[in-house]
């Protein structure tokens, strides 16, 4: 087992890389596992899991990422008589790790928390760094807190069980990290595409480790997204708007991020700051993995007039939690690993959407 440790204001956090699927054992002070209908059977196979342990099973998917689901976790914690030093364990994809962490941050003003991500998206991004939350009022992750897990347990063996669409969804977050901080990772995704898609275990482990290390270093410097951590939202302003307008669950988060990256680079070119050759290179990489990069996303093809749809996307962006002082700010790139944040006019945004 390899361990990677990074510093947080309240102490260190650890990411533990296991060869086999492993969950933390519940302590004498008690605890509970939180999972969903897709992963509950997988939980039963994990090392250190004890049959009969308190377990909350939530509906799978983005549609279940609600305050009601968090209330279910909290109610079970109370019913089980958990204390502040009891342990919440989130076992699943990004939806489960986000909601478990949110519930733990609220329970008695902060219970113990460890996470076991089972999807590539959660391993590479969602479970690392302490963002928690739920969707609210048809807006993505509108309600939440910052509450890092003390430990995150990663086993790429879990990726063997993922449906193809879910696996590819996670790859989009891996690519995002590569574009921001990891040229070698970008090279791997370009040159070893076939090995990536056939889920070569050693290669996936290397990719996840590079993502974890890159994100953890950013979180060390900027836990609450007051500066550099905003870069991790590359493509996300477009992506969250797409998810909202299409309807949560219609487009996976990773699919939306891939399209959002293509739009962010197009926006940078429109503003004259992004190298067109770099945009074309990234677009080719996105398309090689089967992600759409056009002006309008296929999920919105039947939504009506393209300009009206673009205006709906823009309206969703203006309700995004990343705005400051009423203005929407976009993460843009000049070239690989050269990133900045800027306010952009409505006209320019609409110009890359319709």
Catalytic residue, chosen from 18, 112, 210, 236, is 236
334 given a catalytic annotation: no
Residues 6+ apart with CB under 8 A from 324: none
Structure tokens at 135: 């969707």
Question: Are residues 320 and 139 in contact, defined by beta-carbon separation less than 8 angstroms?
Answer: yes
End-to-end Cα distance, the chain: 49
Q: Using CA atoms, how far apart are residues 349 and 263, in angstroms rounded to an integer?
A: 9
Residue found by looking up tokens 């945004």 in the block? 349
Catalytic residue, chosen from 209, 253, 279, 297, is 253
| Cα angle value 206/212/213 (rounded, 5°) | 90
Catalytic residue, chosen from 153, 168, 215, 297, is 215
Catalytic residue, chosen from 193, 199, 217, 229, is 229
Q: Using CA atoms, how far apart are residues 343 and 332, in angstroms rounded to an integer?
A: 10
233 given a catalytic annotation: yes
240 given a catalytic annotation: yes
Catalytic residue, chosen from 109, 202, 277, 347, is 109
Catalytic residue, chosen from 240, 263, 279, 297, is 240
Catalytic residue, chosen from 38, 140, 233, 266, is 233
318 given a catalytic annotation: no
* 156, containing H or E segment: none
Q: Measure CA 127 to chain center.
A: 7
Phi-psi region of 91 (alpha: psi -120 to 50; beta: other; left: phi over 0): beta
| Cα angle value 278/279/283 (rounded, 5°) | 115
173 given a catalytic annotation: yes
Strands (E), the chain: 2-8, 11-17, 31-36, 55-58, 87-92, 112-117, 134-136, 139-143, 151-154, 329-335, 338-343
Question: Are residues 293 and 255 in contact, defined by beta-carbon separation less than 8 angstroms?
Answer: no
Catalytic residue, chosen from 166, 225, 243, 255, is 225
215 given a catalytic annotation: yes
| Cα angle value 226/227/233 (rounded, 5°) | 95
287 given a catalytic annotation: no
Catalytic residue, chosen from 131, 176, 209, 210, is 131
Catalytically annotated residues = 109, 131, 173, 215, 225, 229, 233, 236, 240, 253
């Amino acid at each position: 087992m390899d361990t990677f440790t990074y510093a947080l204001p309240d102490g260190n956090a650890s990411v533990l890389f296991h060869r086999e699927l492993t969950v933390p054992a519940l302590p004498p002070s008690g605890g509970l596992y939180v999972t969903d209908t897709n992963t509950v059977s997988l939980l039963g196979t994990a090392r250190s899991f004890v049959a009969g342990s308190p377990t909350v099973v939530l509906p799978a998917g983005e549609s279940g990422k609600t305050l009601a689901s968090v209330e279910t976790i909290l109610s079970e914690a109370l019913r089980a008589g958990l204390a502040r030093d009891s342990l919440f364990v989130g076992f699943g994809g990004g939806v489960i790790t986000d909601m478990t962490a949110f519930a733990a941050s609220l329970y008695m003003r902060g219970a113990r928390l460890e996470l076991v991500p089972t999807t590539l998206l959660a391993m590479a991004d969602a479970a690392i760094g302490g963002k928690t939350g739920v969707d609210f009022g048809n807006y993505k992750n509108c309600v939440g807190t910052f509450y890092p897990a003390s430990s995150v347990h990663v086993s790429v063996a879990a990726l063997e069980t993922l449906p193809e669409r879910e696996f590819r969804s996670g790859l989009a977050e891996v690519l995002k990290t590569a574009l921001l901080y990891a040229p070698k990772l970008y090279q791997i995704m370009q040159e070893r595409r076939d090995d990536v898609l056939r889920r070569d275990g050693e290669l996936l482990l290397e990719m996840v480790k590079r993502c974890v290390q890159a994100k953890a270093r950013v979180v060390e410097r900027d836990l609450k997204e007051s500066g550099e951590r905003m870069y991790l939202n590359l493509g996300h302003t477009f992506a969250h708007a797409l998810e909202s307008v299409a309807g949560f669950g219609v487009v996976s988060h990773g699919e939306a991020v891939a399209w959002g990256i293509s739009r962010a680079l197009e926006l940078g070119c429109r503003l004259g700051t992004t190298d067109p050759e770099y945009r074309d290179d990234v677009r080719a990489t996105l398309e090689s993995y089967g992600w759409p990069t056009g002006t309008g996303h296929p999920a919105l093809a039947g939504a009506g007039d393209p300009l009206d749809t673009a205006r709906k996307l823009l309206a969703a962006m203006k309700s995004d939690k990343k705005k400051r002082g009423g203005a929407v700010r976009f993460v843009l790139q000049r070239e690989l690993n050269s990133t900045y944040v800027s306010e952009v006019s409505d006209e320019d945004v609409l110009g890359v959407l319709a």
